[in-house]
Amino acid sequence: MFKKIITAVLATLMLLIVLPTKVFAENETETNISSDEIELVEITEEGIFIDVLEPYSYNFASLLGSPIGKCPAEYKYNYQYVTKQQLIDMKRNMQNGGVLSSTFIGFLLGKINPLLGIVGGLLGNENQMFINAAEDALYYRNKDNYTIRTTLRCEDSYQGQRGWVHRYKITSIYIY
C-alpha cells in the first residue's frame, strides 16, 4: 500500500515537471506582426523601424516559456497579396515619385494603421529594395496574383507603458 502511494506521488511530480517542459519546447513563436500590435513606425537614415508591442501576460506558463524583454523571434514576416496590375502600379509609382509613403508601409504591414499617418515619405534603400523585388517577380513569373513577403529583424527591446516593445527593421522584401 505504501509503495502505491509513493509511486502515485512520484508519477504526479513527474507529470508536473516534465509535461510543461514538453509543451514549452513544442510551442512555436509567433512570426507574424498584427497591425494592432504596432506601437510606432520610425524612419531614419538607417531604415524603417517598426516597434511591436508584446502585451503584458498574466499567464504564468507563458512567462516561463520565453524570457521577458527578449525578442520572441529574431525574424518576423508579413504576407500581402496583390494582383499583377497593383504590383505594376506600385512599382511605377515608386520609380516615378521615388517616395515610400505611409500607405505603402501600411500595405506592407497588413493594413493601414493610424500611427502610419505621420510618415511622410522616404527615399532610400527600402524604396530600391521594393523596386528590385517587383522587377524580378514581374520578369521571371507570369502570374495574375503575387505574394509580397516583408522580412523584419528584431534589433532591440525596451519597456513601454503597455508592455515590452520590440523594435524590428525591414531587412528584405520578396515578391513571388
pLDDT in tens, 52-98: 777 655 444 445 555 666 777 788 888 888 888 888 888 887 777 65
pLDDT at 65: 53
pLDDT at 86: 85
pLDDT at 21: 42
Task: Report whether 118 contacts 162 (CB < 8 A).
Answer: no
**pLDDT beneath 70, residues of the chain:** 1-36, 43, 45, 55-69, 97-127
pTM: 0.60
3-state secondary structure at position 1? coil
Q: Which residues pair with 32 in a beta bridge?
A: 77
- 167 sits in which H/E element: strand 163-175
pLDDT at 119: 42
- CA-to-CA dists, residue 161 to 37, 53, 64, 115, 165, angstroms: 13, 10, 22, 16, 9
pLDDT at 10: 57
Task: Report whether 169 contacts 152 (CB < 8 A).
Answer: yes
